[in-house]
Chain A
Amino acid sequence: QQQVKQSPQSLIVQKGGIPIINCAYENTAFDYFPWYQQFPGKGPALLIAIRPDVSEKKEGRFTISFNKSAKQFSLHIMDSQPGDSATYFCAASRANNNAGNMLTFGGGTRLMVKP
């Protein structure tokens, strides 16, 4: 059962555009929602994360919007650059969990930013 659904699978934007990637989760016990960025041949790297007590978090050009009632969250990349071309994964985990914070990932979005 896929507990975190991510869309779109791929996305192409022009430089300066604002790509938006959406995720929806099912498990209401999740309370930590990170986004990871992965370049070819590399492991995923944390980009930005949010807890459900806030509706938005911004770090530089990256913004997470969070809708707890809809169980959805999204990543917006402002003023996108060709260097942002990568695969982006949303994820979810339970922060308050003695059993560890294993991540449940969405399926990934391959972003291409054209010059």
Chain B
Amino acid sequence: GAGVSQSPSNKVTEKGKDVELRCDPISGHTALYWYRQSLGQGLEFLIYFQGNSAPDKSGLPSDRFSAERTGGSVSTLTIQRTQQEDSAVYLCASSASGTSGFVETQYFGPGTRLLVL
């Protein structure tokens, strides 16, 4: 079956511009995570969605970052007024459930490589 897809695969933008990154999770997966992979910082958690519940935004590095998930499926990560330090690979992962008592495998997409000039 289809895995997690992300678009665009690459994005080059100028400092100060806004960008939107899209994630299509595996069909039926209720949990969706965004992570950032950057040199020197490794892989870090950004935000978590579970079904229609309020998202866990505890990993977002600043208020320039926001995300939404429409209809419990597709998610968009928005970075406003991009800075050079935002350059990284943004990874999306989904799992069947993120609720208590279960550890469901997180399936990652290929990522969006963002370069801020």
Contact = CB atoms under 8 A, between A and B. Distances in A.
Interface of A: 32, 34, 36, 41-46, 49, 89, 91, 93, 95-108
A56 B107 CA distance: 24
B42 A101 contact: no
B18 interface: no
Contacts of B95: 101
User: Main SS of the interface on chain A?
Assistant: loop
22 contacts: A42-B110, A43-B91, A43-B109, A43-B111, A44-B43, A44-B108, A46-B107, A49-B103, A49-B105, A89-B42, A96-B100, A97-B100, A98-B100, A100-B33, A100-B48, A101-B31, A101-B95, A102-B48, A103-B106, A105-B43, A108-B42, A108-B43
Contacts of A43: 4, 91, 93, 108-111
A89 B22 CA distance: 24
Contacts of B35: 103, 105
Interface residues on B, range: 20 to 34
Given A41-B110, A100-B33, 5 more contacts: A46-B106, A91-B43, A99-B48, A102-B56, A105-B44
A79 B35 CA distance: 32
Contacts, number: 69
Contact of B56 (A42, A89, A93, A99): A99
Interface of B: 4, 31, 33, 35, 42-45, 48, 50, 56, 59, 91, 93, 95, 98-111
| 6 residue pairs, one from A and one from B, having the closest CB atoms | A43-B108, A100-B98, A105-B43, A95-B103, A100-B48, A102-B45
A93 B103 contact: yes
A40 B91 CA distance: 13
A108 to B, nearest CB: 6
A49 B105 CA distance: 9
A100 B101 contact: no
Contacts of B109: 43
A95 B104 CA distance: 9
